[in-house]
Every structure is written in structure tokens, then in C-alpha cells.
Amino acid sequence: MPSPASDPLDRYEAVIGIEVHCQLRTASKMFCGCSTDYDGAPPNTRTCPVCLGLPGALPTINARAVEHVLAAGAAIEATAPAATRWDRKNYFYPDLPKGYQISQYQLPLASRGRLTFDTSAGPFTVTITRAHLEEDTAKLVHGVDPAGRKVSLVDFNRSGAPLMEIVTEPEIRTAEQARRYAEELQLLLRSIGASDADMERGQMRVEANVSLRPRGTEPFGTRVEVKNMNSFRAVERAIDFEIARQAAVLDAGETLIQETRGWSEERGETYRMRIKETSDDYRYFPEPDLPPLHLDPAWLGAIEAGLPELPAARRTRYREQLGLSPYDASLLVADPDAARLFEETLGADDSLDAKPVANWVVGEYLRLRNAASEPVTVVASQLAAIVRAVQDGSITRAHGREVLAEHASSGASAPSIITARGYRQISDGDAIDAAIERVLAEQPGAVADFRAGKDQAIGFLVGQVMRATKGQANAALVQRAVRERLAADAGQGS
């Protein structure tokens, strides 16, 4: 008998498929002209007969939404059909006024793509079964009315907003792979401008289908769909919880049932929501109010040609052409502001090497930005000036950091801050020599220690010289000069 404390993944292999819904970035809704800019708008102010599902209202297709899905399809190397069709997915729920959702069943806009992402165990590629276009539902708001009664209200502002659903094959095996897939997909969708894909704001909703099978066996086990994860961390935690829960059920000799479970962030566990519907329950049939959509190859070609550099290609370029470490390349590409600053700084001074610029952006800019309560702005040409000044020794690295911090908060130029603060570093040999003479005369104890073989004493002496020059001496030069000076004394046999 396996002990309950043993890792369930020793006995079982997890089989995971991910479904992502993301809201597309369009000005108007999927099948009507209502604005999608409803965040914070009073309830039910972004509605019309179409998105309220009133009888007789007719849908029209939002071309921009179709373009976003086709662009996403091209970015994941999927295939687009010659023509697509719309299908009605029928079910009853108060947030769905028509009693059906217009979706795509048999002919999605994108089929058989793939996405590669990094994991702690190396790169992993997952097949993407399909990406299709559909419409979002309204939002139910549960609360208490002025008389103290529990009420559920419906806000139709979101009803009919364009939604893309992206489904993977059940090829994912760990919670970490699932989280990394979702992160890479978010980055990709943002990079092509298809979606803001903010999980906390519900613009990107991740559902995980999880089942277990005994290691070494082929057939899939019964799957459970987990939803309501509001962050990447929650995706990973929910899947890990579900793997352990299912393993315990199987170990007890019981069977799992196909169901939909929700993730409770507070309790750190999944809970039953409903027994899963099957596609038969939805009675899909072709949408009679919309014609099939023919996809002109020239249109597809233009969309593909218009794709920007994708995250994976950018990481490869940073590593292979610019010589960055995989870590720096990933960090920069994952953060569009940082990547932009990095590229613009390199562009501002083409004598700068990519590596030190990446270090300043990753090490200093990101630290400043993440610590700041207000948005910080660093102008690329000013960062270039700072990196240059530190590199050619005219200011110290520590001062460079302070100049960057002040530039970021006040917007003042780097040269003006350097001058105002008197940061110009002393590289002038005579001034440094004079300071060294003074310090050696004042610190006979440390000098004697050094002569007695205590090499650490040099650090103290260099520190005193740096103090005497108010930190403006070049530390490397001082270190060398102090050693030379003491070695010369020793040579005289004094």
C-alpha cells in the first residue's frame, strides 16, 4: 500500500488539457455595434436588441475579431479553413438571454497549431487543437437589495463581447507546464495585440481538464474540469490539488465522476460545481442568421505578414544575436516595457554592448519600477548616457544607480544630475596619489598589518581613500595604486 504521504506522481501520471477563453481587443462587440468599453460603466448601458437577445434582432460579424483569431492562429502555426461557419450552442442560463451562444463547432478559425515554452525541465511544445470565435455571456451580480433580500441581478454590458477559445490536446503532464503554457499564451496574445489577457480582470480565463492514469498505462482516466482560477499561481495550485485529490480517490479504490469543479483560493481546494455536460447536451446546429464566412487567401496572407516579432523569436534573437543569457532574454521578453527600453537604449548608442544594457534594465530599471508607487519613466537616451558614463569610468556604478533613480523620478537629464551632484569620478592619478599619501600617513596600524601579511588590510586602506575622495575616485584604480605604493615601500626594505 502506498503511504498517503508519498508523491501521487510516483504512482499516477497526470493528463492535462487546457481551455482558455480570452476577450478580444475590439472597439465594438462580436455581433452588434455596442461598445466593449464597459469597465466601470453603469450596468446595462452598453446594450442593444442584438446583445440583449430580443426577438427579431439580427447579428452582423465583427471583422476585427475574426482578424484577431486568424492572427493568433498564424502565430501558433495553425491552419485556417477556406470557409467557416457559425453554430448555435444551446443552453439555458440567466446570463444568456437568447438561450444560445453563437460559437464555432465544426469549423474553427484555427486548427492544429502549437506553442513552445520554457519550463524548469527544458522547452516543452503543446499541440493546440483549435482556436475559435464566440460571444461572451452577461454577468450575474449577486447581492442584497435595500429591503435586505438576497437578489441576483444581470448586467448585460459584457453580453456579446468577442471571445476566443483556445483548446490544447491532453498533452500536458504537470501543473508547472500548465502554468507556463498559460503564461506564454498570455504573452503571445498581448504581443499580437489580440487581447489584454489580464487574468485578474477576467479577460483571460483558464480552465484545466485533469485526469490520472496509472504510470505505464495508455487509456485516459475520467477527467475533471477545474475553473475559477484568477492567477497563474492559482492554475498551478489548483491542478496540484486536483492531482492529489484524484489520487486519493483512486487509491481508496473509488471511481471519479466527470464533473466541473471550482477553485477556492481561500480554502486552497477545488469543490464540485456541476456534473459535466457533454456536447450532445448543447444540440449544436448551424446559425441560420449568419452566412458562412469565406476567408480570402490574400486577407490571410496580409494578416500573417503583419504579425510582429513573436516572443519566442525575440528570445532567440536576444540569446543568439545579442549574447544575452536565457534568463535575461526571458525576463526582458516577458516584460514589454523592459524590452522596449532595452531595445531603445541599444538604439540610442550603438557603441553599447547588449549585455551591460540588459543588466541595467533587468537589475536596475525593473527594481526601480517594481518598488515605485507611481509609474516611472526612463528615457532610453538617458539610460544610454548613464551606462556609457559608468563604462568609461567617468562615474561610479553606485552613482550611476542614483542618477538613474533621480532621472526616473524627476525626469532630469543624466548629465545635469551628474554635474549637480558632483559625481564626476576622479580618474586623475595625481589627485588619487595625494589622497593615498595622506591615508597611509594617517593609518600606520593598517599599513603595519598589511606588511605583516594581513592582506585584508588593503580593503580598509582603499575604503579610507574612497572616503577621502568622497567616493568619486575610481575604486579599481585606487586598489591598484595602493598595492603598488605599498609594494614599492617593501622593495626599499624600509
The stretch among 179-187, 203-211, 330-338, 457-465 that binds ligand ADP (CB under 6 A) is 203-211
DSSP state of 356: H
Query: Judged by CB under 6 A, which of 220, 271, 285, 327 binds ligand ADP?
Result: 220
Query: Judged by CB under 5 A, which of 24, 51, 164, 478 binds Zn ion?
Result: 51
What values do phi and psi take at 365, rounded to 5?
Answer: -60, -50
Name the region of 17 (left: φ>0; alpha: ψ -120 to 50; beta: rest).
beta
CB-wise, 130 or 369, nearer to Mg ion? 130
What values do phi and psi take at 41, rounded to 5?
Answer: -75, 150
Are the beta carbons of 307 and 75 closer than 8 angstroms? yes
Q: What span, in angstroms and rounded, lies between the C-alpha atoms of 429 and 262?
A: 70
Shortest reach from residue 172's CB to ligand ADP, in Å: 8
Shortest reach from residue 281's CB to ligand ADP, in Å: 10
Shortest reach from residue 89's CB to Zn ion, in Å: 19
3-state helix, strand, coil in the chain (%, to 5): 40, 20, 35
Name the region of 228 (left: φ>0; alpha: ψ -120 to 50; beta: rest).
left
- Does position 48 interact with Zn ion (CB under 5 A)? The reply is yes
CB-wise, 48 or 368, nearer to Zn ion? 48
Are the beta carbons of 159 and 137 closer than 8 angstroms? yes
- Does position 351 interact with ligand ADP (CB under 6 A)? The reply is no
Q: Which of residues 11-40 bind Zn ion (CB under 5 A)?
A: 32, 34
Bridge partners of 167, per DSSP, are 19, 130
Which cell goes with 305? Answer: 505578414
Nearest Cα neighbor of 20 from 192, 208, 211 is 208
Are the beta carbons of 311 and 333 closer than 8 angstroms? yes
Q: What span, in angstroms and rounded, lies between the C-alpha atoms of 274 and 262?
A: 9
CB-wise, 277 or 428, nearer to Mg ion? 277
Residue nearest to Mg ion (CB): 19
Query: Judged by CB under 6 A, which of 8, 12, 16, 70 binds ligand ADP?
Result: 16
- Does position 166 interact with ligand ADP (CB under 6 A)? The reply is no
Q: What span, in angstroms and rounded, lies between the C-alpha atoms of 322 and 333?
A: 13
CB-wise, 19 or 118, nearer to ligand ADP? 19
51: partner contacted, choices Mg ion, ligand ADP, Zn ion, none (Cβ within 5-8 A by kind)? Zn ion
CB-wise, 110 or 378, nearer to ligand ADP? 110
* Placement of cell 508523491 in the chain: 7
Shortest reach from residue 160's CB to Zn ion, in Å: 6
What values do phi and psi take at 90, rounded to 5?
Answer: -95, 125
DSSP state of 11: H
Query: Judged by CB under 6 A, which of 157, 195, 211, 425 binds ligand ADP?
Result: 211
**Total interface residues for ligand ADP by CB under 6 A:** 15
- Does position 167 interact with ligand ADP (CB under 6 A)? The reply is yes
Q: What span, in angstroms and rounded, lies between the C-alpha atoms of 336 and 334?
A: 6
103: partner contacted, choices Mg ion, Zn ion, ligand ADP, none (Cβ within 5-8 A by kind)? none
Q: Which of residues 12-31 bind Mg ion (CB under 5 A)?
A: 19
- Does position 91 interact with ligand ADP (CB under 6 A)? The reply is no
32: partner contacted, choices Zn ion, ligand ADP, Mg ion, none (Cβ within 5-8 A by kind)? Zn ion
Q: What span, in angstroms and rounded, lies between the C-alpha atoms of 221 and 11?
A: 14
Residues that bind Zn ion (CB under 5 A): 32, 34, 48, 50-51
Residues that bind ligand ADP (CB under 6 A): 15-19, 167-170, 209-211, 220, 223, 279
Residues that bind Mg ion (CB under 5 A): 19
